[in-house]
Amino acid sequence: MKVQEIRELIKLIDESSIDEFKYESNGTKVKLKKRTVEAAAPVKEQVVVSEPVIQPQRMETSTAQTNDKPQVEQAAPVAEVKEQAPNYDQEVTSPMVGTFYRAPSPDSDPYVQVGDKVKNDSVVCIVEAMKLFNEIEAEVNGEIVEVLVEDGELVEYGQPLFRVKSK
Amino acid sequence: MESTRKKLITLLAEQQEQYVSGQKLSEELNISRAAIWKHMKGLEKDGYKIDAISRVGYRIVAFPDQMSLNTIQWGLNTSWLGQRMYYEPQLDSTQSLAHKLALEGAEHGTVVIADEQLKGRGRLHRKWDSQKGKGIWMSIILRPPLEPQRAPQLTLASAVAIIDMLASQVNVKGQIKWPNDIFIQNKKVAGILTEMQAEQDLIQYVIIGIGLNVNQTAEEIPEDLQEIATSLQIETEQTWVREGLIQNLLKEIESVYEEYVQNGFGSIKKRWELAAYKMGDWIKVKAMRKEWDAKLIGIQNDGALIVEDTDKARKVLYSAEIDWNKGGVDL
């Protein structure tokens, strides 16, 4: 098995709901395990807070962002989650490091709200890096059940932005 | 049709002092003499002045001062960029038309140019003043084989192309204000707006929008922008033929793009830093609802800005509002 194939595999498993993966063939053994908190059941959503498998150089560079994140913001959504226990099976993640915007311009309405139906090609938000405004599409058909990031907040590569209940 | 007209102009322009016979044109272009006549009428509409003498031939007396697809493409020596081109005297926004064309499948390297934009825009739908005949209002459709997170580097690469064009054609030294503005002497002369359609790991297309102020006089710059904006005319005290600038700019962008796709951003980065605005100076950074003084150090290999705070701690910025005039004055 080539490194490239293993990388591909990690990526696929990372995006899937599989927690553990074993593969054996001709003396080659591959075992992959995700660091999840599935066991701690009720707040399943915490999975998302755990570090996604992301490019290491991106992590270092983002210290300014993580340090600056106010504590309150971290706590708030979790509390909300417990009450509502939203039912979701898909996440929209950020394809790059940048600033998250919910609306096309400061005085327009957000692209989507909780409860909105989205299609594959519905634009759900913008992630801006170096003044490049990337319109993010849902890439899933379903309903937005939660918005995970505040308008104007810095997001990481691979960070979940929305939770979606697919159809 | 368009390429025939381009060849026709080339044939006539090669022999500017002499008349070229209808017979010769008809043979060279492999079209009837009646068709040549039609093309001549078309060229006159574009603003060419053509002298026609029966039984002698045709001669171009004057080239148009009005921009047209022909005047832009004639003399364009790129191999792919702008070979497919849309020119309109008036558009709401070249960026909007480029998006529409890209969604309909327009090929890599397609260029959209307007003489005037009614709703020219910068980022966050901010207005970009684009008066008729005064500037270069252009959008380029690219389909780079890159992951979406690398796309912002195309903005920086395009900025380097603009700097090179300004140096070679206009003989002015532009500076790049990270990441997307071109300055001359502390005033903005051009802006780049890059927009993208992408899936998680694949770019569908990128549109590089460029607005470059060329022939505005100081009075023609809108009043609220006079302190912060300039044009090539204002800086050099002469007017410029936009076609020549566009042709050279497209050539520069094509070359920097090819270098970037082949070798990555590394070698372009050095050129970028050499042209960087306020390098080594103090600025004020606004990110995550905090403001702090920082010194501009350079950019990373991926184009992110490197700054140093007052404790000499280095930070890397992908996204920030920067106040370029108010950093650490009393340090």
pLDDT of residue A16: 77
| Nearest-neighbour CA in chain A from B250: distance (Å) | 21
Q: Does B102 touch chain A (CB under 8 A)?
A: no
Nearest to B300 by CA among B280, B314, B313, B316: B316
- The beta-carbon neighbor of B197 closest among A105, A135, A157 is A135
Cα A77 from chain centroid? Answer: 14
B289 marked as part of a ligand binding site: no
Rounded to the nearest angstrom, the minimum Cα separation between B322 and chain A is 12
Identity at B284, one-letter amino acid code = K
Query: What CATH superfamily classification does B69-274 receive?
Result: Bira Bifunctional Protein; Domain 2 (3.30.930.10)
Residues from chain B that touch A130, judged by Cβ atoms under 8 A, are 152-153, 155-156, 178-180, 303-304, 318-319
CB contact, 8 Å: B197 with chain A? yes
Within chain B, which residue ranges are assigned CATH 2.30.30.100? Answer: 282-323
Question: pLDDT, tens digit, for every residue of A26-66?
Answer: 767 777 777 654 443 343 333 333 333 444 444 434 334 44
Please indicate whether, in this complex, the C-beta atoms of B194 and A132 are within 8 angstroms of each other. Answer: yes
Average pLDDT over residues B238-266: 95
CB A101 within 8 A of CB B319: no
Residue in chain B nearest A107 by alpha carbon? B124
At residue B202, does pLDDT exceed 90?
no
Contact between residue A160 and residue A92 where contact means Cβ atoms under 8 Å apart = yes
CATH architecture of B4-62: Orthogonal Bundle (1.10)
CA torsion B13-B17-B18-B22 (nearest 10°) is 30
The two counts, helices (H) then strands (E), for chain B are: 9, 14
pLDDT number for residue A35: 65
Delimiting residues of CATH 2.40.50.100 domain(s) in chain A = 90-166
Domain B282-323 has CATH 3.40.50.460: no
Give which of B61, B65, B121 is closest to B93, Cα–Cα.
B121
- Residue A68: the pLDDT is 46
If one compares B242 and A52, the residue with the highest pLDDT of the two is: B242
Q: Which residues of B touch A153 (CB under 8 A)?
A: 288
Q: Which residues make Cβ contacts (< 8 Å) with residue A147, sequence separation at least 6?
A: A102, A112, A113, A114, A161, A162
B120 touches chain A (CB under 8 A): no
CA distance A145 to A27: 45
What distance in Å separates residue A74's CA from the closest CA in chain B? 14
Of B114, B165, B171, B113, the C-alpha closest to B141 is B113
Is the ipTM higher than 0.85? The answer is no
Q: What are the tens digits of pLDDT across the range A108-122?
A: 999 999 999 999 989
CA dist., res. B180 & res. A130, Å (int): 8
CA nearest to B181 within chain A: A131
- CB within 8 A of A49, min separation 6: which ones? none
Q: What is the pLDDT of residue A73?
A: 45
Q: pLDDT at residue A6 above 90?
A: no
CA B320 to centroid of chain Cα atoms: 25
Residue B287 main-chain phi, psi, to 5 deg: -145, 140
Q: Is the pLDDT higher at B11 or at A61? A: B11
What is the average pLDDT across B150-170?
Answer: 97
What's the pLDDT at A81?
47
Q: Which of A76-80, B15-19, B31-35, B178-182 has the lowest mean pLDDT?
A: A76-80
* Nearest chain A Cα distance for residue B192, angstroms: 9
Contact indicator for B197, B135 with CB cutoff of 8 Å: no
Q: What is the pLDDT of residue A71?
A: 45
Beta-carbon neighbour count of residue B303 at 10 Å?
A: 24
Q: To which H or E segment does residue B103 belong? A: helix B94-103
Of residues B198 and B32, more confidently modeled: B32
Write out the CATH class of domain A90-166: mainly beta
Q: What is residue A85's predicted lDDT score, i.e. its pLDDT?
A: 56
Q: In the numeric block, which tokens belong to residue A7?
A: 């990388």
Question: Residue B330 — pLDDT band, cuts 50, 70, 90?
Answer: very low
Task: For A121, name the nearest residue in chain B, comparing CA atoms only.
Answer: B199
Dmax of chain B from CA atoms? Answer: 82
B42-63 pLDDT per residue, tens:
888 887 888 999 889 999 888 7
Position with higher pLDDT, B246 vs A34: B246
Residue A99 CB-half CA count within 13 A: 22
3-class secondary structure, B6 = helix
CA distance A44 to A139: 23
Residue labelled with tokens 């070979």? B83
| Cα–Cα distance list, B235 to A18, B8, B166, B248, B249 (Å) | 62, 36, 11, 19, 19
Looking at the complex, report in whole angstroms how far the Cα of residue B297 sits from the nearest Cα belonging to chain A. 15
Q: What is the pLDDT of residues A120-142, one digit of tens each?
A: 989 999 999 999 988 899 999 99
- pLDDT top residue among B23 and A3: B23
Residue A97 with chain B: CB contacts under 8 Å: 149, 318-319
Among A28-37, B31-40, B239-248, B250-259, the range scoring the smallest mean pLDDT is A28-37
Q: Establish if B311 touches chain A: CB-CB under 8 angstroms.
A: no
Does the CA dihedral A97-A99-A101-A106 come out positive or negative? negative
- Overall residue count recorded for chain A in this entry: 167
In chain B, which among 157-176 make CB contacts under 8 A with chain A? none
Segment (H or E) for B170:
none
- Residues A69-114 have pLDDT tens digits of 444 444 444 444 445 555 889 999 998 899 999 998 888 999 999 9
pLDDT tier at B249 (50, 70, 90 boundaries)? very high
Which of A7, A131, A137 should one mutate to test binding to chain B, selecting the residue with the greatest count of B CBs within 10 A? A131
Which residue carries 């998250």 as its tokens?
Answer: A100
Mean pLDDT for chain B? 91
Residues of chain B with CATH 3.30.930.10: 69-274
Contact A135/B123, CB-based, under 8 Å? no
More confident call, A83 vs B215: B215
Sign of CA dihedral A107, A113, A119, A125: positive
A-B contacts at Cβ under 8 angstroms: 94
User: Which of the two residues, B31 and A12, has the higher pLDDT score?
Assistant: B31
Flag the least confident range among B9-18, B90-99, B110-119, B171-180. Answer: B9-18
Residues 121-150 of A with CB under 8 A from B: 128-135, 137, 139
CB contact under 8 A, A129 and B316: no
Provide DSSP, B219-239: GGS-GGGTTTB--HHHHHSS-
Rg over alpha carbons for chain B, rounded to the nearest Å, is 22
Convert the pLDDT of each residue in B65-93 to its tens digit.
Answer: 788 999 999 889 999 999 999 999 999 99
Helix (H) or strand (E) segment spanning residue A52? none
**Closest Cα to residue B329, out of B270, B284, B266, B291?**
B284
- Whether A19 contacts chain B with CB within 8 A: no
Q: CB of B261 within 8 A of CB of B144? A: yes
Q: Which of residues 58-77 of A touch B (CB under 8 A)?
A: 61-65, 68-69
A38 vs A116: CA distance, rounded Å: 28
pLDDT reading at B64 higher than 80 = no
Non-local CB neighbours of A103 within 8 Å, separated by 6+ positions: A109, A110, A111, A151
Nearest to A61 among B123, B124, B316 (CB): B316
- A132 vs B303: CB contact, 8 Å cut-off? no
Question: pLDDT tens digits, residue range B270-324?
Answer: 999 999 999 999 999 987 678 899 999 999 999 999 999 999 999 999 988 898 8
CA distance linking residue A27 with residue A25, whole number of Å: 5
Q: Which residue in A has a C-alpha nearest to residue B299's C-alpha?
A: A130
* Residue from the list A61, A69, A130 with its beta carbon closest to the beta carbon of B152: A130
The verdict on B179 touching A (C-beta cutoff 8 Å) is yes
Where are the extended beta strands (E) located within chain A? 20-25, 28-33, 90-93, 98-101, 117-118, 123-129, 132-137, 142-147, 154-155, 160-166
